[in-house]
Amino acid sequence: MQPDLRVKFFRLIVIFILLPLIGCSTTGAGKLSMTDDHPSETGIEEKWGVKVLSIRHSAGGYMLDFRYRVLDPEKALPLFDRKIKPHLVDEATGAVFAVPEPPKVGALRSTRKPQPGKNYFVMFANPGGYVKKNSKVSVVIGDFRAENLVVQ
């Protein structure tokens, strides 16, 4: 491998693996907004056994980082199924964004058996920074749907 290719490869590794992990926190800063005509945060917690923590820009705005905490591992199990492909929907335009799957790393999401009280993530591609701060989005993982999330 040529030196220039090594540097480019290293930068890609940093962007796709390290930056999302470094720039994320799960303090209360990313509050969610849900309207009355959609399932409440409590409904998601009761049905799916997870608490939605945040949806934020990451990797310079080219990724969206969805964070959630598992409260009940049995109820949350479908969110970790590798066969189910999560996607994010921009509510204003209907644009759909997928989870990147780099060949050497795999899908940028958690798929191991969930543990109670632990935080997990799903990274969505945001090419060209299409989804802006304060945009309303929905996260869909199989039958799970968290709507009206405000991007921080």
pLDDT tens across 77-102, in order? 999 999 999 999 999 999 999 999 99
Cα–Cα dist 137/147, whole Å: 6
Indicate the residue type of 120: Y
77: alpha, beta or left? (left if phi > 0; alpha if psi -120 to 50):
alpha
Overall pTM > 0.85: no
Task: Enumerate the H helices of 1-152 as residue ranges.
Answer: 3-13, 19-22, 41-48, 73-76
- Bridge partners for 125 per DSSP: 63
Q: Which residue has the tokens 């990797």?
A: 59
Q: Return mean pLDDT, the chain.
A: 81
